[in-house]
Amino acid sequence: MIDMTLTPAHYKSDVKPVWCPGCGDFGVLNALAKALAKLALRPEDVAVVSGIGCSSRIPAYTSAYGFHGVHGRALAVGTGLKVARPDLTVVVTGGDGDGYSIGGNHFLHACRRNVDLTYIVMDNRVYGMTKGQPSPTTEADWTSKLMPQGTGLGEIKPMAIALAAGANFIARGFTGDPNGLADLIVSAVEHPGFSFVEVLSPCVTFRPEQREWKKMVRGHALAPAADSVEAATRIFADDGMNLGVLYAGTRRPFAPPIGRAQRTPTDLERRFAL
Amino acid sequence: MTNPSNSAATSVAIALAGSGGAGIMTAGNMLLEAAASAGYYALMTRSSGPQIRGGEAAAMLRIATHPVECMPAGFDLLAAVDWENVHRFGAEIPLGAGGLVLGDEAEGAPPAVFTASGAAIAALPLAAIARGIPGGRPNMVLLGLVGALLGLPEDAMHEAVSRTLGKRPAALEPSLAALAAGRSAAGSLQPFTPLAPPPGSAAGRWLITGNEAAGLGALQGGVRFVAAYPITPATEMLEWLSPSLESVGGVLVQAEDELASINMAIGASYGGVPSLTATSGPGLALMLESLGLAVASETPIVVVDIMRVGPSTGIPTKSEQGDLDIALHGLHGDAPHLVLAPNGVGDALATTQWAVTLAESLQCPAIVLSDQFLGQARAVIDRPAAGASPAARDVAAAAAEGDAPYRRYALTDSGISPMAIPGTAGVTYTADGLEHGERGTPSSQFTDHAAQLDKRLRKLADHDYGERWADLEGEGDLAVITFGSCTGPLREALALAYERGLAVRLVSLRLLAPAQPARLAAALAGVRKALVLEQNHSGQLLRHLKSSFDLPVPLASLRKPGGQQFNAAEILRHVVEWSAA
C-alpha cells in the first residue's frame, strides 16, 4: 500500500535510544526512516528484525513492526518471517559481532538463499554493548582488556564473503552521509533478493578514532560491477572506505509459494487409509 | 503362536533379516501391507547396522488379531536371506523356545545367538530358487515363504507386491514369480502355527508411522510453516511434511542448522503463521536459547523432538526417553512452557495437533517428545479420533489514531494478551527477548520483570487442559505411571496382569509440563503405591514426579536405558514382584 503523506518522522517511535551521544547508529535510524518514507511503505507493512548488540536495539526505535531476538539469529528470524509473509518488507539489522561472529553461518546462508530482504550491518569493528572487545572486523593490532596484545587475526571482508556466498545486492554506506545511506537502503529494498548493506557506523566511545572516518570515506566510489568477477577484483583491492553499490545481481529470489492450498489436511488422511 | 498345541495364533512376531541391499525393508513393508489389507493389526519396526547404506538390516513385525503397540519378549520366526552380520541383532530379535529360524541352506548354520534358545532351524535353497526365475530375488522368495507360513491370503500378498512394484513392470513379474515359488516351497517345511482369522476387514483402519502421524497432526493443528535441519530419526517427518505442507498451502524451509530452524519458525510465527520445527536431542539442545526467546517474546512455536539415545551423538538410530530433563528444565531463567508426549503411533497425531492448539492459544513454545520407536514404527491403527480444535490465536485488531497505545504484553487476568500480526495498522510493536513492560519497551526494572513473569506463568497455570493431560486406565490400589512409548508395552503388561488377577492402574502422562499435580493426585486416589516406568538411565520422570507433584503415594522406579524397548513380559515380571514387595 503506497501512502505519499508519510514523512521520515512517521517511522520513528517514542522510545528513547540507549545509544551514546554521537553514535553512528543514530545515522542509520535516520537513514532508514528516510528510506522508508521515500519508499512510501506503511509502517505496519514493514518489519525490522535484529539480534543483540547496540545496533540491534534499532527495531524498537522505529514505528514499524519489530522483532528483537537473540544474539546472532536475526537473519533466521527475518528469513522465516519473509518466507511466511512475502507481502511484508523485511529489514534485518545488526552489528558486526552479531552478524559476522555468532551469526556468521546465517550470513553465509542468507546470501546463498537469496530471500528478498535487506540486511543492514552497522559495522563499528567492536563489541560496544559489552564494552569494547574485538569483533571479526577489528584490526589485528587493536588492543583491549580482553585481548591486550590485539587478536593477531586478520579482519574479515564481509562484502567479499557476501559476494562469494551469492548475495544479490552488495553496497557500503556511511552514517556521516545519511542521505547517501538512505538512497542505498532504498536501492537495497527495491532490489529483488538478498540485499546486503555494510554501514560504517563509528563507535565514538570505544573506537573514538573512527571519528576520522568522515575524512577517509570516498562517496560514490563504488559503482555496480558488471559481474561478480569484476566485483571480486574490486572488493579485494578495496580499503574499506569506498562507498556505493558494489554489485547488483540478477539471481532469482528464494520465494516458495505459500497460501496456495490445493488440498486440506483431511484430504491427506486418505493416503493412510486402508 | 509359540504354543504348538494351538491351532491358530492371535499374535505372531516375525523378523526378516539380511545384508544391506538384499531388499529386507521392501519385503518387510510388503508383508506389513499384506497383513494390513488382510484385516490384521500389525506393527513394524526396523533396525540396521551403523553403515548409512549397505549394512545389515532387519524388519521386525508383529501381526495380530488385536491392536499392537510393542514387540513381544520372543520372536516366533526369524527369516533371513543371508547371515552376514545378522548376529548383531541378537539382542533385538530374541527367539522364543518354540521359534523357528529359517535361512538359505547355502548360507550355512544360523548364528548361535538365535538358536541357543532351542529354536527350530530350517533351511531352503532361497537363492537357488530365485536364480531359477529370470530377475527373481531371494527376498521375494522369502516373502512368499513367510506369507504362506503365516497363512496370509495369497491375493493379499500379491496385491502388496503389485502395489509397491506396479510402476516397474520389469521388476513386478519376476517378483510375483519369486513370491509364488516361495509360497510353494513352504510346503516342505514343518508345520508352523498360522494366524487366527483376521478380526474383520481393514476398512476404517490406517497404516501410518508415528512420524507421519505427527506431521499430519501438525497440519491438522494449523501449522503452515516448518523450518528444520535434517537429523535422524526426525528426518522422515520432515520428508513427509515437505510436499504435504506445500499441498495445503504451507512451506518447509531446510535451514542451515537448528539455531536457524527454530528462529525461522519463530519469525514465521511472529508473522502470524503457525510454525513448527522437528529435530532430535542434539538439535533440541541447540534450540534451547531460542525456546527462551519464544517464551519471553510470547511467540507460539512447536518443537517436535524425536528422541534418540544420548548424550551427544549417542545411538542415532535407537530410541530413548532421555530428553525429558532438557525439555522440562533446559531453558535458562524462569521460562514456563509446554511439554507433551504422544503415547502411541496414532496418538502422535492428536498430541502434536494438541500441542499446536495449546502453543497458539497460550502464545508460548510447546515441546513434543516423541521418540525413535514411535516415530519410525509403522502400524495398523484404528482411525484416530478427531483431535483438538484448530489453532486459535488471540489476535489484536487494528487501532485508529487516538486509540490508547497498543500494549502487546498487557497484564490481563488470563495472562494472554492479544497479539498484533504484522500488516495490522495502529498496533505495531517490537517483540522482545529483553524483559519489557506492557508495551514491549525494554525494561530492567524489577516490577516489570516480576509482573511479566507472573503473566507468563499465569497463562499456562490457569489454563484448563481438559481430559487430554493423561490416559487413565484400569482400577486397583496399585498404579504404574509412565509416558510416551513405554505406554504400549505397559498397557499389554497390565492386561496380562489383570488376567492373572492383579489389577493395576495405568497412568500415561501426555502433558508433562506444566505439571498437573492435583489431577494426578486425584487419579491416584485409593492407590497405595505407584511404580514409575520410563526408558532412560537416571529416572528423569521419577525425578519430575518427585520434584513437581508432591504425590501422596510412595514411588518406585522401573527403568532402563534406550537401545532396547521394554516388552510386556518384562514389565509384567517387575510389576508382579513390585506388587508383592
Q: Which residue of B has its CA nearest to A259?
A: B249
Digit-coded pLDDT (tens) for A125-165: 999 999 999 999 999 999 999 999 999 999 999 999 999 99
Percent of chain B beyond pLDDT 70?
Answer: 99
Q: What is the pLDDT of residues A177-211, one digit of tens each?
A: 999 999 999 999 999 999 999 999 999 999 999 99
In which order are the strands placed within the sheet that holds B57-64?
A: B120-124, B95-104, B75-80, B11-18, B57-64, B41-48, B378-382, B205-209
> Cβ B253–A106 below 8 Å, yes or no?
no
Q: What is the pLDDT of residue B2?
A: 42
The per-residue pLDDT for B55 is 84
Q: Answer yes or no: do A85 and B268 touch at CB < 8 A.
A: yes
**pLDDT digit string (tens) for A4-60?**
588 999 999 999 999 999 999 999 999 999 999 999 999 999 999 999 999 999 999
- In this complex, which of B36, B253, B257 lies closest to A274 when CB atoms are compared? B36
B423 vs A76, A88, A272: nearest CB:
A88
Chain A residue with minimal CA distance to B442? Answer: A60
Is A44 in Cβ contact with B422 (below 8 Å)? yes
pLDDT given for residue B53 in this prediction: 72
CB of B241 closer than 8 Å to CB of B215? yes
pLDDT at residue number B7: 76
Return residues 260-279 of B near A (CB < 8 Å).
260-273, 275
Average pLDDT over chain B, rounded to whole?
A: 95
Residues 207 through 226 of chain B touching chain A, CB cutoff 8 Å: 207-208, 212, 216, 219-220, 224-225
By Cβ distance, the residue of A45, A69, A80 closest to B433 is A69
Give the model's pLDDT for residue B299. Answer: 98
**pLDDT given at position B190:** 81
Nearest to A85 among B37, B253, B271 (CB): B271
Distance CA B46, CA B164 (A): 18
User: Does the residue A9 lie in any domain?
Assistant: no
Contact between B37 and A274 using a beta-carbon 8 Å cutoff? yes
Question: Grid coordinates 548364528 are at which residue?
Answer: B111
Domains and CATH numbers, chain B: 11-188 (3.40.920.10), 206-382 (3.40.50.970), 394-463 (no CATH), 469-580 (3.40.50.920)
Task: Identify the CATH number of the domain in which residue A193 sits.
Answer: 3.40.50.970
- How do residues A203-244 score in pLDDT, each as one tens digit? 999 999 999 999 999 999 999 998 999 999 999 999 999 999
CB contact under 8 A, B275 and A69: no
Please list the ranges in chain B whose pLDDT falls under 70. 1-6, 52, 391
Residue B356 sits at the chain A interface (C-beta within 8 Å): no
The answer to whether position A1 is within a domain reads: no
DSSP string, chain A: -B-TT--GGGGB-SPPP-PPTT-THHHHHHHHHHHHHHHTB-GGGEEEEE-SSSGGGGGGGBSSEEEE-STT-HHHHHHHHHHH-TTSEEEEEEEHIIIIIITHHHHHHHHHHT-S-EEEEEE-SSBTTTTSB--TTS-TT---SSSTT----PPP-HHHHHHHHT-SEEEEEETT-HHHHHHHHHHHHHSSS-EEEEEE---TTT-GGGGGHHHH-EEEEE---SSHHHHHHHHHH--S-EEEEEEE--PPP-----S-BSS-HHHHHGGGB-
pLDDT in tens, B352-406: 999 999 999 999 999 999 999 999 999 999 999 877 777 689 999 999 989 999 9
Answer whether B239 touches A (CB < 8 Å). Answer: no
Burial of B198 from C-beta contacts in 10 A (0-12 / 13-18 / 19+): buried
Tell me whether residues B247 and A66 touch, CB distance under 8 A.
no
Q: How far is B128 from chain A (nearest CA, A)?
A: 35
* CB nearest to A80's CB, from B250, B257, B267: B267
Name every chain B residue with its beta carbon within 8 A of the beta carbon of A262. Answer: 247-249
pLDDT tens readout for residues A244-266: 999 999 999 999 999 999 999 99
Contacts of B422 in chain A (CB under 8 A): 44-45, 47, 65, 81, 85, 88
Residue B193, classed as helix, strand or coil, is coil
Query: Which residue in the set B256, B273, B442 is minimally distant from A105, CB to CB?
Result: B256
Residue A82 lies in a domain: yes
Q: How far is B227 from chain A (nearest CA, A)?
A: 8
Chain A hits for B290, CB-CB cut-off 8 Å, are 69-70, 73
Selecting from A43, A81, A260 the residue whose C-beta is nearest the C-beta of B267 gives A81
Q: Which one of B270, B287, B406 makes the best mutation probe of the A interface by having the most chain A beta carbons within 10 Å?
A: B270
**Is any Cβ of chain A less than 8 angstroms from the Cβ of B422?**
yes
Residues of chain B contacting A81 with CB distance shorter than 8 Å:
267-268, 270-271, 422
ipTM: 0.98
Judged by CB atoms closer than 8 Å, whether chains meet at A81 and B270 is answered as yes
Q: Are strands B555-559 and B511-513 parallel, antiparallel or unpaired?
A: unpaired
Q: Is residue A102 assigned to a domain?
A: yes
Say yes or no: B403 contacts chain A, CB-CB below 8 A: no
A178: in domain: yes
- A73 and B290 within 8 Å at the Cβ level: the answer is yes
pTM of the model: 0.97
Q: What percent of chain A has pLDDT over 70?
A: 99
Mean pLDDT of A68-96: 98
* Chain B residues close to A257, C-beta within 8 Å: 246, 251
Choose the mutation target among A14, A18, A52, A65 for the interface with B, i.e. most B CBs under 10 Å. A65
pLDDT of B1 reads 39
Cβ contact B429–A42 (<8 Å): no
Cβ separation A67–B290 shorter than 8 A: no
- Put simply, whether B426 touches A (Cβ < 8 Å) is yes
Q: What is the DSSP string of B235-296?
A: HHHHHHHHHHHHHBT-EEEE-SSHHHHHHHHHHHHHTT--EEEEE-HHHHHHHHHHHHHHHH
Provide the pLDDT for residue B164: 94
Q: What is the domain extent for residue A77?
A: 15-271
Cβ neighbours of B37 in A, within 8 Å? 274
CA of B556 to nearest chain A CA: how many angstroms apart?
Answer: 40
- Note whether B263 contacts A73, CB cutoff 8 Å: yes
Distance CA A133, CA A140 (A): 12
Contacts of A72 in chain B (CB under 8 A): 259
Q: What pLDDT does residue B3 have? A: 42
| pLDDT computed for residue B6 by the predictor | 55
Please tell me the predicted confidence (pLDDT) of residue B386.
Answer: 78
Size of interface A-B (CB pairs under 8 A): 190
The domain tally of chain A equals: 1
Measured between CA atoms, the residue of chain A closest to residue B291 is A70
Q: Which residue of B has its CA nearest to A261?
A: B249
Mutation site for B-interface testing, chosen from A57, A68, A274 by largest number of B Cβ within 10 Å? A274
Report the distance separating Cα B564 and Cα B535, nearest Å: 9
Residues of B in contact with A76 (CB under 8 A): 227, 255, 259-264, 267
Q: How close B200 comes to chain A (CA, Å)?
A: 13
**CA-based nearest distance A3→chain B, Å:** 13
Contact at CB, A265 and B266, closer than 8 angstroms: no
